[in-house]
Amino acid sequence: MSPGAAREPYRGRAAARGRTPRRRWRRKDRPVSLLRELPLLVVVAVILALVIKTFFVQAFFIPSGSMQTTIGIGDRVLVDKFTPWFGAKPQRGEVVVFKDPGGWLSRKQKSDPPPGVKQLKQAMVFVGLLPSDDEQDLIKRVIGVGGDTVACCDATGRVTVNGVPLDEPYVYPGDAPSNLPFSVKVPKGRLWVMGDHRGDSSDSRAHQDRPYQGTISENDVVGRAFTVAWPVSRWRGLPVPKTFEGAGKFTNPGNTAAVLPTVPVVMGVAGAVPVILVRRRVRSRPRDRDFQARLPGT
């Protein structure tokens, strides 16, 4: 009697008792090695990282002191790029990252890396692991929006918005609200921005001789910086200061180089791992057709 025939009565008894015959795993049913899934994991992680970087959250490295002490030199901030897709516009008091309107930053002199290194660098820039030499972004605080009249200084030396003086505890200790007097009516669709370190910030005040009197376009804004993410010792939010709060307080209603590090990549990997795990689990499940073929009488 063959071994298969000897096992047949047992299968018949199991079926008669209403039990499901125990399925024996074969080599082809075993989960696929994670090493074989690694290329797919990398591809999914890169795609998710690019989507996150483009539409949701981007991290920026701050190399200058124009926003001290709110944001220190070497800090990384997270920037919300998602809400503007729903029509949200920059508001007074928000810290925003924006593209160089033209002439605010000096162009960097590029160095040509050796062959091979150049291509690797370009690939890492593409997925957000390294900064782009072409990116020219700045970070400042919005003081006035379209329709506002921003001026300095009042009798007590404070900046005013539509005649309302601002109490600015975020200004760098020892700095005056502004050593340069100004009075500008912000055109519609534009913003008046200033750094918190007023003595070390080339902001709207320094570009009043340009078109639109130093204001920037809302369309140049990349997004709002909402938290300092790194280093951990400086981890905190960037809320709108209380001096800008209060409905009707202002008569007119509101209408530094930055580098992308590894945050989108980390989030991309975090999103890709569940996809791979689900795919592996689905592939490891027995197919109904194969399982039915093993039952007695089929």
Active site residues: 66, 140
What phi, psi does 15 have (nearest 5°)?
-70, -40
Would you put residue 103 in left (φ > 0), alpha (ψ -120 to 50) or beta? Answer: left
- Measured distance CA(265)–CA(91) in Å, rounded: 30
Residues 6+ apart with CB under 8 A from 157: 176, 177
